[in-house]
């Protein structure tokens, strides 16, 4: 029995990678990546620019060979059985691969014919996909007239012509406005409900949180954490306490006093975050511990841990901002935390 068949068949994995490495010259892009994706699920590969996300997808899609390690997709080894992998997958990159001079219907019919369908079958499949992706009304329009969101939907539809069992979406909502992004999220969720396995790469933390059954965080060519969004949030604290210091000196004193407990620090905004269980008693205890004289903390807020916190904590990336919302309090001079009880 082939390694891939054994791995996928016994563990119900649509994707199974072990120890994958890839270098370009002296640059080690992937450094022993292990990745397992359950069949029929949505998994997200999350990481900063340059983390190796796209390279990993290219290896799984047989576009780039790994230097070492092994990987199987849909029961086929990505180096020894590339034809089998390619018959089972669809890959949608960051930019739509469509013919702007053709209509939406013509693009899909062309893809279906290239996949070996008869003229009648191609027409029927194109009509089915246009309806599924809410593009029937634009079927006869040239693609160059489509909005960004429509082009992305058509691009994914084109990739589904051959009914693949595994779909790779490499940053599928890059450049889309909020409404178009939400539409794409619905499309991806529908794919998973139909039984298709989806692996998406993204830099949008909300996207991974909302769509993925499991998230793998890739940083510096390694998987630094993996789990459900809830599990990853729990790793950095079920809640966080956001603090605004009363001045730059106060910020420096707080940061020094909190040490390794700081999840995020922004000197310009004088804000720091630490983990907490979210209860009023715990918040009072923390405030009294590191600000007993009530002169360092100007304002505070308690929030549920977000994927921003996961990203910052696990990748060391400080670019993500604190999430909006939550309960905000102002410390009173008597050492109480009046608003915290309402969290």
Residues 6+ apart with CB under 8 A from 18: 34, 69, 70, 71
User: Rounded distance, CA 257 to CA 286, Å?
Assistant: 12
Q: Which of 190, 209, 227 is the last residue of a domain?
A: 227
Which CATH number does the domain housing residue 76 bear? 3.40.50.300
pLDDT of residue 139: 95
Are 186 and 246 in the same domain?
no
Q: Which of 227, 254, 275 is the last residue of a domain?
A: 227
User: Rounded distance, CA 161 to CA 334, Å?
Assistant: 67
pLDDT of residue 328: 41
Tens-place pLDDT, residues 94-116 = 656 789 999 999 999 999 999 89
Are 100 and 61 in the same domain?
yes
Tens-place pLDDT, residues 40-79 = 999 999 888 888 999 999 999 999 999 999 999 999 999 9
Are 116 and 253 in the same domain?
no
Are 174 and 270 in the same domain?
no
Are 133 and 53 in the same domain?
yes
pLDDT of residue 101: 94
Q: Is residue 192 part of a domain?
A: yes
pLDDT of residue 204: 78
Kindly list the distances between the CA atom of residue 67 and the CA atoms of 19, 27, 223, in Å, as whole numbers in the listed order: 10, 13, 17
pLDDT of residue 250: 93
pLDDT of residue 312: 65
Does the reported pTM lie above 0.75? Answer: no
Q: If 0-12 CB within 10 Å is exposed, 13-18 middle and 19+ buried, where does residue 217 land? A: buried
pLDDT of residue 236: 60
Are 181 and 271 in the same domain?
no
pLDDT of residue 98: 87
In the chain, the number of structural domains is: 2
User: Rounded distance, CA 124 to CA 140, Å?
Assistant: 15
Are 219 and 242 in the same domain?
no
Regions of the chain with pLDDT less than 70: 1-11, 94-96, 235-238, 304-343
Give the helix/strand (H/E) hosting 86: helix 82-88
Q: Is residue 232 part of a domain?
A: no
Q: Is residue 306 part of a domain?
A: yes
pLDDT of residue 11: 55
Task: Give the structural domain span for 287.
Answer: 237-342
Residues 6+ apart with CB under 8 A from 3: 70, 72, 77
Are 7 and 91 in the same domain?
yes
Are 241 and 223 in the same domain?
no
User: Rounded distance, CA 269 to CA 265, Å?
Assistant: 9
């Amino acid at each position: 029995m082939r390694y891939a068949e054994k791995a996928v068949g016994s563990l119900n994995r649509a994707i199974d990678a072990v120890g994958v490495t890839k270098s370009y010259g002296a640059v080690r892009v992937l450094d022993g990546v292990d990745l397992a994706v359950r069949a029929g699920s949505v998994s997200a590969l999350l990481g900063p620019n340059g983390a190796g996300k796209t390279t990993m997808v290219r290896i799984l899609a047989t576009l780039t060979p790994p230097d070492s390690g092994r990987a199987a997709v849909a029961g086929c080894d990505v180096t020894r059985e590339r034809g089998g992998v390619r018959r089972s997958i669809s890959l949608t990159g960051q930019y739509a691969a469509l013919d702007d001079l053709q209509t939406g219907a013509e693009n899909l019919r062309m893809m279906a014919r290239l996949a070996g369908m008869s003229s009648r079958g191609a027409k029927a499949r194109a009509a089915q996909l246009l309806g599924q992706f809410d593009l029937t009304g634009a079927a006869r329009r040239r693609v160059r007239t489509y909005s960004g969101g429509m082009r992305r939907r058509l691009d994914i539809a084109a990739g589904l012509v051959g009914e693949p069992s595994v779909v790779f979406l490499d940053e599928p909502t890059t450049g889309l406005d909020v409404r178009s992004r939400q539409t794409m999220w619905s499309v991806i969720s529908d794919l998973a409900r139909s039984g298709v396995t989806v692996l998406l790469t993204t830099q949008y933390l909300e996207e991974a949180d909302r769509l993925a059954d499991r998230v793998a965080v890739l940083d510096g060519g390694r998987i630094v954490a993996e789990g459900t969004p809830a599990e990853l949030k729990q790793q950095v604290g079920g809640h966080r306490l956001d603090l605004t210091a009363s001045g730059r000196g106060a910020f420096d004193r707080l940061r020094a006093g909190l040490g390794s407990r700081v999840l995020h620090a922004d000197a310009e905004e004088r804000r720091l975050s630490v983990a907490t269980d979210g209860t009023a008693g715990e918040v009072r205890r923390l405030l009294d511990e590191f600000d007993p004289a009530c002169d360092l903390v100007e304002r505070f807020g308690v929030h549920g841990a977000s994927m921003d916190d996961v990203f910052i904590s696990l990748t060391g990336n400080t670019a993500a901002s604190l999430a909006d919302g939550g309960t905000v309090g102002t410390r009173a001079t008597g050492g109480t935390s009046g608003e915290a009880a309402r969290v």
